[in-house]
A = this chain, B = another copy of it.
């Protein structure tokens, strides 16, 4: 961290800043330019003390030198981390595809869907039992009953299950039923929930908030990692911009940026990042081409009857075509689509 003094700063003000640096246990090195003085601060996480300097007399501004996250950074762990999902590894050479309905609605529909997904080559089943909905009048999910259906279908198909936790107290029950706990975009900064999954040791799928910067996402991952859980997969799912012709804007840059900043696996959710099934396959291909470690896709046997997100759900036959095309892209970038569990 560097403290940049303003041009009129007096030597007394500079001394006061240096004094506080030392009183907080940091070391300083002062560099006296022609126009201004700059004070560098060295020590353990000086950024956490940034607020202590920003308002001191004579201070113009603070420039962070290091990044505010550690455990999530490439400097901390240089090789790619992998996260296990019941036998499949996310973050290795293979590209992993998670698919399923937005919400679990009905046991037989879910089974039909899961069988089709498995047939097409999907590696895991997604489906919401607890649903965050922006309207209090919309379908809110089946709750624990939905979890039971997911577990039953896993039993039959062998596909591991990914489902969302919306509050800390749901974490144990979801950990019991599911193989991976999803933190949704709206809860990316629900810090109690991050804390809870951080302590659970269960694999976590952390979705980027729709107005979160890449640094915000890595700080949310840092919450989980700092509570002891190393199994975090990051998910780009579109950000909110001025463009209205799609539901969100897929930040495809985020894929290579994240891969350079962090060792954690990164997947893409083109269903939410576009919001329209017509564009899902093209953006799924783009995600893998950009270096993503996997995809999470909404699939529904009869999207026009889905209780939520029908517009962005693929029919099973279109999903099968997506898998076929994504396999081609994966191979073009030197990766594979691993076989799914039973096959």
Q: How many copies does the complex hold?
A: 4
Known contacts A242-B241, A245-B214, A285-B333, A279 near B250 by CB under 8 Å: no
Residue of B nearest to A137 (CB): B48
A343 at the interface (CB under 8 A from B): no
Q: Which of A23-55 contact B (CB under 8 A)?
A: 27, 29, 31-36, 38, 40, 42, 45, 48, 51-55
Distance between Cα atoms of A239 and B303 in the complex (Å):
32
Chain A residues proximal to chain B, CB less than 8 Å: 2, 4, 7, 27, 29, 31-36, 38, 40, 42, 45, 48, 51-56, 63, 65-66, 68, 75, 132-138, 140, 166-169, 186-187, 189-192, 209-211, 213-216, 219-220, 222-223, 226-227, 239-246, 249-257, 260-261, 273-274, 277-279, 282-283, 285-291, 303-311, 325, 328-329, 331-333
Residue of B nearest to A170 (CB): B192
Q: Please tell me if the beta carbons of B279 and A253 are within 8 angstroms of each other in the complex.
A: yes
Please tell me which one of the listed residues B29, B166, B210, B257 contacts residue A245 in the complex, with CB atoms under 8 A apart.
B257
Residue of B nearest to A195 (CB): B136
6 interchain pairs (CB within 8 A)?
A: A35-B65, A213-B242, A250-B253, A286-B290, A289-B290, A332-B332
Please tell me which one of the listed residues B42, B213, B219, B252 contacts residue A35 in the complex, with CB atoms under 8 A apart.
B42
Q: Please tell me if the beta carbons of B55 and A310 are within 8 angstroms of each other in the complex.
A: yes
Minimum CB–CB distance from A226 to chain B (whole Å) comes to: 5
Distance between Cα atoms of A56 and B304 in the complex (Å):
6
Residue of B nearest to A302 (CB): B55
Minimum CB–CB distance from A309 to chain B (whole Å) comes to: 7
Residue of B nearest to A169 (CB): B169
